[in-house]
A and B are shown apart, each in its own frame.
Chain A
């Protein structure tokens, strides 16, 4: 009986832990605020189209507004603290490029890409892009995906 209770409690605690884990800081940016904003592009791809590129979720936001760029960078950096692996490049104290491998969730790998083209050396552009990707693919395959 004790064993059964322990198993049930373990299952419940695990479920609660998984449910408590779901919040990423960048999720705040995907609340629809950029859907109607000028100078912003938001892309959402899930389901069959996402599966064609080996993902389950593709969600990106690109903005030209520099104040928004700062907000995005801050949230990305916050999530980056929890990343299990990352490649980042700072320029003039600002995040220029970031590739973050987040902890797995619901047996899916999660990745964040960030690029601030304002800080590009060659042909800087007033554009900041954030991409969130989720899927079974590993980090190497994600990198191959962006090289296609």
Chain B
């Protein structure tokens, strides 16, 4: 291990690669080899082959990480979509519940009137009454405006 602690030549690296492929390296040496291959500027058949092999492992672990992230993302999206669907269905149910059903009824002195025309006639009477009161207010405002205009002339 000590021989390879400071790899400062391609030959040193190749020796370590050879030991690696012979299955003679320790865990520390393997870590050193990975580090050296990741950072060395040299190129040779043995070094390139080792880079490819190590690179494959690096790429493989990266792929696994990506798959894990993708899996988690899909899980979050599924949860979010499920919640969105629940909210939408709940909202629709709430909206449906709030939609008034067909009712057209009047109670006059305790008597029930269910004839649509009669009830709508009563509605019209109510609205007319409000109209007269609203008009009275408008008329009053108009009169006030006219009085102010006259006063200013």
Contact = CB atoms under 8 A, between A and B. Distances in A.
Interface string A99-122: 100000010000001010100110
Interface residues of A, number: 48
A8 B128 CA distance: 47
Given A4-B76, A8-B83, A40-B107, A62 B101 contact: no
Interface string A17-49: 000000000000000001111111111111111
B106 A106 contact: no
A52 B79 CA distance: 43
Given A45-B120, A46-B101, A36 B129 contact: no
A113 B130 contact: yes
A115 B133 contact: yes
Interface string A49-75: 110110011101010000000000000
B123 A60 contact: yes
Consensus secondary structure, chain A interface: mixed
Interface residues of B, number: 37
Given A11-B87, A56-B100, A97-B133, A35 B119 contact: no
Contact of A45 (B79, B119, B137): B119
Contacts of A120: 133, 136
B134 interface: yes
Interface string B92-122: 0001001111111111111000001001101
A43 B116 CA distance: 11
Contacts of A145: 127
Interface of B: 76, 79-80, 83, 87, 91, 95, 98-110, 116, 119-120, 122-124, 126-131, 133-134, 136-137, 140
Given A38-B109, A45-B104, A115-B133, 11 more contacts: A15-B91, A36-B110, A41-B108, A41-B122, A42-B106, A43-B107, A47-B104, A60-B123, A60-B126, A89-B137, A129-B126
